[in-house]
Amino acid sequence: MKCVLVSFLVLVAAASAADANPIQKVLQMLSDLQAKIIGEGEEAQKVYHEFSEFCEGRSAELAYEIKTGKAEVADLQATIQKASADMDSLSAKIEDIAAQLATDEQDLKAATEIRDKEAADFAAEEQDLSETIDTIQRAITILERELNGGASLMQLKSAGSVEQALAVMVQASAFSAADASRLTALVQSSAHDETSDMDIGAPDAAKYENHSGDIIATLQGLLDKAQGQLDDARKSETASRMNYEMMKQSLEDAIKYGNKDMDKAKKARGAASETKATADGDLAVTSKDLAGDIKSLAELHHDCMTKATEFEEETKSRGEELHALAEAKKIISESTGGAESLSYSLTQVSLLQVSKMALSSGGFQVVRFVRNLAQKQQSTALAQLASRMASVVRFGTANGEDPFVKVKGLIKDMIERLLAEAQADATHKAYCDKEMAETKENKDDKEAEIEKLTTKINKMSAESAKLKEEVAVLQKELAELAKMQAEMDKLRQEEHATYTASRPEMEAGVEGIKLALKVLREYYSMEDKSHEAAEGAGSSIIGLLEVAESDFTTGLSEMIAQEEAAQAEYDRQTKENEITKATKLQDVKYKSKEAKSLDQAVAESTSDRAGVQTELDAVLEYFSKLKEQCVAKAEPYEEKKRRREAEIAGLKEALEILAGEAVLLQRSATRALRGVQSSVA
């Protein structure tokens, strides 16, 4: 009869296994809701992490663009300032050149006017002195002729002075009254000059006669004095003319090169103006882009901060919700144990042996299930739980106690423990994700800054090397230019020496041919020849000489033209070489200065990079420690999470098994009790 009853109870339990305890259903729903909230938190964490990476990347891009834009604005402003300064400097230079040109032109005009006046004065003086010399010479000639036997010999001999002698000559119609007056004035002026140091006033006639001596000697002295004055005047005129020519050439050269400098300065000012206009346009565009980037960065910062605040609030809300669910589960588990046991357990029929046997069988089935789960998940905690559950089932059944309540309590405690560990691990993972992300961002920023500084250093080093190479090339070109100029000077001297030696020979040849032609033509053109001339041969000779004359004349003209062209080309090339030399020297000076500035900037950037590298080393050291704490573990978070979820699911399944066993035993015991009561009745 017992065997039939036990078999019946087992069949009834199997048929009713699907029924569940309402309290357990609530606990299951709470557990599922906790798992769902944790999953949503993990998904939100993933989305926020991606958004944070976007914010970091975009912020770095905008920061770099802003920094680059500010650098470009500064460069453009510097270019504009330099162009403005160059324009002001060139304008001042143009004004100075214009003023100098005006001064040179005025000086040239004034010098020309003075030269014209000096030339006119010299012409008048030369004419006057020439006339005086001519008059004295004629007077001396007349006096010598008259004194040597002329009609007025006695009168001249009785003359006591030059004035009396001239009066005698005028009376004899040998000399004009005008010439006599001129000589008289000249004699008086000379006498006045000679006696002015002794006595101021008109000279005494007796003193003059005693001083002058012979009349002809006196006139001869006047003639020598007039000749000397004429020579001095001509020398003075020659010197004045040469000084004027030199001054004129100097001023004309100054005006010529001043005009060239003026044109060059105007072109340079135009180029500076164009550079400034271009830089102004670029500055407007760059400033607009920079303002847009700054605005975008501010908006991005606002959006990212808003999203971060929302994420923190959501995370906090999820934590509060999980805490509330865990508190609710704890309250349900602690406060409904007795009611659950009274409502859904089989303690009322525990006196039946069959119920005890069924309890023992169901309890050990759950123990085996948990032990298998511990072995599958390699969990020490689950193995310990299975051991404790086995003890509870064994000793509870022996003492007549209900083991299901304690077993379920052990399983629920383990589930609560696993959920708490899951929440703690999730919090630790959020901390690790945040620290890892911030540290990685800091590391990336430092590495990007180092890369930028390295790029800047390499660029400036390359530019410095390029400038130094260009300076070396310029210096080499200057040496070659100096060598070429020396060769030009030597060649020009040789050409000019050849020309100087050859031209007189050519000119002598041309003159000789012309003279020979003249002699032959004159001879053969004579009609009264005393013999029969060889006119045919003479004509041939004349023809050949004419050909030779033409060749010599052409050669001389070509020689002169070549010399003038060579000299002009030499002057032009020499001037170009001077300009090129000045330009290259200025380039060498500028490029050397720029290379030195770049080298200094490279040294500063290298120092900055060393400082950033030190900061990066510290960040890398912290990042390495963070990896050891958050990543370098024997069991990654995802694996640990999977294992813990499997353990929780297994424990929930064990609870379902216990719940099913409890329902089966309750129903079977009730029916068995009713059958026993019927039998007794």
Q: For residue 427, what is the enclosing H or E element?
A: helix 403-525
> Residue 123: what pLDDT?
92
Q: Are the C-beta atoms of residues 418 and 566 closer than 8 Å to each other?
A: no
Predicted confidence (pLDDT) at residue 12 exceeds the cutoff of 60: no
Using pLDDT thresholds of 50, 70 and 90, give the confidence band for residue 303.
confident
> Residue 646: what pLDDT?
75
Residue type, 585: L
224-250: average pLDDT: 90
Predicted confidence (pLDDT) at residue 119 exceeds the cutoff of 50: yes
- pLDDT tens digits for 322-363? 777 677 667 766 655 555 444 444 444 333 343 444 445 555
Question: What phi, psi does 244 have (nearest 5°)?
Answer: -65, -45
| Mean pLDDT of the residues in the chain | 75
Residue of 331, 423, 323 lying closest to 26 (CA atoms): 331
Instruction: Tell the residue number behind the tokens 């834009």, with chain if given.
Output: 69
Predicted confidence (pLDDT) at residue 118 exceeds the cutoff of 70: yes
Q: What is the pTM of this model?
A: 0.35
> Residue 155: what pLDDT?
52
Lowest mean per-residue pLDDT among 170-174, 315-319, 392-396, 536-540: 170-174
* One-character DSSP codes across 142-207: HHHHHHTT-TTHHHHHH--SHHHHHHHHHHTTSS-HHHHHHHHHHHHHHHHHHHTTT--SSPPHHH
- pLDDT tens digits for 565-601? 989 999 999 999 999 888 889 889 988 998 898 899 8
With pLDDT > 90 as the criterion, what percentage of the chain qualifies?
12
Predicted confidence (pLDDT) at residue 19 exceeds the cutoff of 90: no
> Residue 524: what pLDDT?
66
> Residue 624: what pLDDT?
82
Decide which of 365 and 522 is more confident: 522
> Residue 344: what pLDDT?
47
CA dist 399 and 393 (Å) reads 10
> In order of start, what are the domains of the chain with their CATH numbers?
446-524+536-628 (1.10.287)
Using pLDDT thresholds of 50, 70 and 90, give the confidence band for residue 519.
confident
- pLDDT tens digits for 483-498? 989 998 999 999 899 9
Using pLDDT thresholds of 50, 70 and 90, give the confidence band for residue 305.
confident
Q: Cα-atom radius of gyration of the chain, to the nearest Å? A: 66
Decide which of 544 and 91 is more confident: 91
Predicted confidence (pLDDT) at residue 92 exceeds the cutoff of 50: yes
CA dist 322 and 329 (Å) reads 10
Decide which of 429 and 166 is more confident: 429
**Which among 217-226, 347-356, 662-671 has the top mean pLDDT?**
217-226
- pLDDT tens digits for 438-471? 877 888 888 888 888 899 899 889 989 988 898 9
> Residue 316: what pLDDT?
82
> Residue 502: what pLDDT?
86
With pLDDT > 70 as the criterion, what percentage of the chain qualifies?
68
Decide which of 626 and 477 is more confident: 477
* One-character DSSP codes across 442-476: HHHHHHHHHHHHHHHHHHHHHHHHHHHHHHHHHHH
Using pLDDT thresholds of 50, 70 and 90, give the confidence band for residue 6.
very low
> Residue 482: what pLDDT?
92
Q: For residue 315, what is the enclosing H or E element?
A: helix 215-335
Maximum pairwise Cα distance, the chain: 222
Which DSSP letter does residue 631 get? Answer: T
